[in-house]
Structure 1
Amino acid sequence: MEFEYQEEYVKSSRGVQLFTCRWLPSDSSSPKALVFICHGYGMECSGFMRECGIRLARARYAVFGIDYEGHGRSSGSRCYIKKFENIVNDCHDFFKSVCAEKDYRYKGRFLYGESMGGAVALLLHKKDPLFYHGAVLVAPMCKISEKLKPRPVVVNMLTGFENLVPKWKIVPTKDVIDSAFKDPFKREEVRNNKLIYQDKPRLKTALEMLRTSMMVEESLKLVTLPFVVLHGDADTVTDPEISKALYDRARSKDKTMKLYAGMWHALTAGETDENVGVVFADIIAWLDKHAAEGNLLVEPLHETFNVGIQKLPSPPPAAEKHSHHRSYLCGFQGTAHASFSYVASSPDCCSRARWSRDVKIMFIDERGKRNISNCFPFKLHSTFSVLKY
């Protein structure tokens, strides 16, 4: 085998269990450098970023990925970003814990960010400007396109509700998968990946991403590390002008921009095999040039370096079931709404739940009047659609 794949769970400084994985060159070869993956919004590493990990490992790079809190196989409410800085801090801690490992202390360090992961990578660089030796940025989310920027009145309205219903899946968006993945077969593969979040963005998540994009845009001139930014000129998810702005404003003396004619947003996972091969060839060529011996000055970390990451001895067992009383808005066959408490079998409920008790159902008639049906009779384990608020 040309590479070795490993999985590991770690616990963050906030006590969150995070899934991590790594693709390593075969045992007989020492890696040229370390590459740290920052995946995109709603994505995950073990499946979606697998092709990236394998290609880079075969090119003799040690590749490390982490599923953000609430993403993929990590714990947390699905795709809920309470604070974007939590993502950055978790990546910062995990990546540095890898760099402190004995085999990797003197290896070059490169960031690899796709879409929202591009913003994560740039914020990691901002957090420690001299630590990483370069970055590969694929269609990065580092500026809000003027064509997509919401009006201030809309932002103000949503901001007024974010602390009341932060996890509400209310933000209207177009189908990103249809817009990002050009190849229909690969698009279907993404839809079948149950670890990828495919629902509407949560209110707090959307606002955090908006604020982060604006913050990154304001600090583009502070970017000083070597980087290559790659973008499809037919990308409708993140405007190619975003990458041009990064290239123009960054103070980096070593910067490269690759613009691919006719390609969409998912350059490494949504194009034809031929196009994907072209993109990865450019990425690996750039890494090879910048990871060459003699080009890097590595300040080693040591095992005593405290990064707040606790390695777990084995993947954590399935979450123990507990009873939690919570309030929900419920719709029964599209006609009834109720506000009540129930006993859930897990902390984070899915879109459907089973009930084992009678409840009070509040019907809303055409005139908006509320009619209460006391102790509406439901049989044991009747199933309802649930909207958490």
Structure 2
Amino acid sequence: MPEPGVRIKGSVCFCYGSGDTCTFFFEGIASQIASSGYAVYAVDHPGFGLSEGLHGYIQNFDDLVDNAYEIFAKIEGRPEVRGLPSIILGQSMGGAVTLKLHLEDPSEWDGVILVASMCRISDEVRPPAPVLKVLTCMAKFLPKAKLMPESDLAELAFRDPAKRKMLYEGGFHSILEGEPDDRIFAVFDDIITWLDSRSSSA
């Protein structure tokens, strides 16, 4: 939440990526957005962050979407944000959740922000076709087996080596967390400017 006495301009509901947690989000990204006058909310996806269950196990991707929709619908009814612009922000895998949420009900949101959104799997990290066939077959018989990529995804995501060592293991596409501070602040400035434009016109 913004500082006491600061007028709330709108709400920002955040869907993070597969290597993140709500705790990490609220220590960094959320505080930046909240300091600009927005009520910020997030939820740990089932099987991700600090939620219970086998980490990364998704029986049905729509379960993540339905869970986020249910929680964010409750948030929109809270008295402090009722009637204010409602924005959804998705990062990495959370961007895929965000896209599905928005496409299922575009009228629910006043705006959408996608940061390094997972729209498809990059060819650079996709296993070769024969390996993919074997893994798909294995998943039918061992649906809860955790298959990890060989390459360190943090190596691909974090430009600043010091930031690479700080963040949640397996995090990637982290333009808001893993870049040098000047670049992070430039991205935040663009996000806040865009949020303010949406809030003033709503």
State TM-score, norm by structure 2: 0.91
Q: Which runs of 5+ in 2 are unaligned?
A: none
Aligned length: 202
* Superposed displacement of residue 158, structure 1: 1.8
1:88 and 1:123 in contact (8 A); partners too:
yes
Q: Which amino acid aligns with 1:168?
A: A
Between the aligned partners of 1:33 and 1:72, the Cα distance in structure 2 is 25
The aligned counterpart of 1:309 is none
Q: SS at the partner of 2:138? A: coil
1:71 and 1:197 in contact (8 A); partners too:
no
1:118 and 1:138 in contact (8 A); partners too:
yes
* Superposed displacement of residue 198, structure 1: 4.1
The aligned counterpart of 2:4 is 27
* Structure that is richer in strand per residue: 1
Q: Matched residues, percent identical?
A: 35
Picking from 95, 98, 101, the partner of 1:121 is: 98
Q: SS at the partner of 1:156? A: helix
* Superposed displacement of residue 30, structure 1: 2.7
The aligned counterpart of 1:351 is none
The aligned counterpart of 2:192 is 284
Q: Which runs of 5+ in 1 are unaligned?
A: 1-23, 191-195, 200-236, 238-264, 297-389
2:47 and 2:53 in contact (8 A); partners too:
yes
Q: SS at the partner of 2:34? A: helix
* Superposed displacement of residue 48, structure 1: 4.1
Alignment of 1:44 onto 2:21? yes
Alignment of 1:178 onto 2:190? no
Between the aligned partners of 1:107 and 1:290, the Cα distance in structure 2 is 11
* Superposed displacement of residue 113, structure 1: 0.8
* Structure that is richer in helix per residue: 2
* Superposed displacement of residue 153, structure 1: 3.9
2:11 and 2:40 in contact (8 A); partners too:
yes
The aligned counterpart of 1:136 is 113
Between the aligned partners of 2:150 and 2:134, the Cα distance in structure 1 is 17
Q: SS at the partner of 2:113? A: strand
| Structure of greater Rg | 1
Q: SS at the partner of 2:106? A: coil
Q: SS at the partner of 1:119? A: helix
* Superposed displacement of residue 82, structure 1: 1.7
Between the aligned partners of 2:123 and 2:164, the Cα distance in structure 1 is 27
Alignment of 1:274 onto 2:149? no
Q: Which has the higher contact order (CA 8 A, sep 6+)?
A: 2
* Superposed displacement of residue 125, structure 1: 0.3
The CA deviation string for residues 168-204 of structure 1, in whole angstroms up to 9 with x for no partner, is 22343310112211112211111xxxxx4549xxxxx
* Superposed displacement of residue 137, structure 1: 0.8
1:113 and 1:136 in contact (8 A); partners too:
yes
* Superposed displacement of residue 148, structure 1: 4.7
| RMSD after superposition | 2.0
The CA deviation string for residues 133-182 of structure 1, in whole angstroms up to 9 with x for no partner, is 11111111113335555555433322222132122223433101122111
The CA deviation string for residues 82-133 of structure 1, in whole angstroms up to 9 with x for no partner, is 2111111111000000011222220111011111111111010012121101
Q: Which amino acid aligns with 1:79?
A: G
Q: Which amino acid aligns with 1:100?
A: G
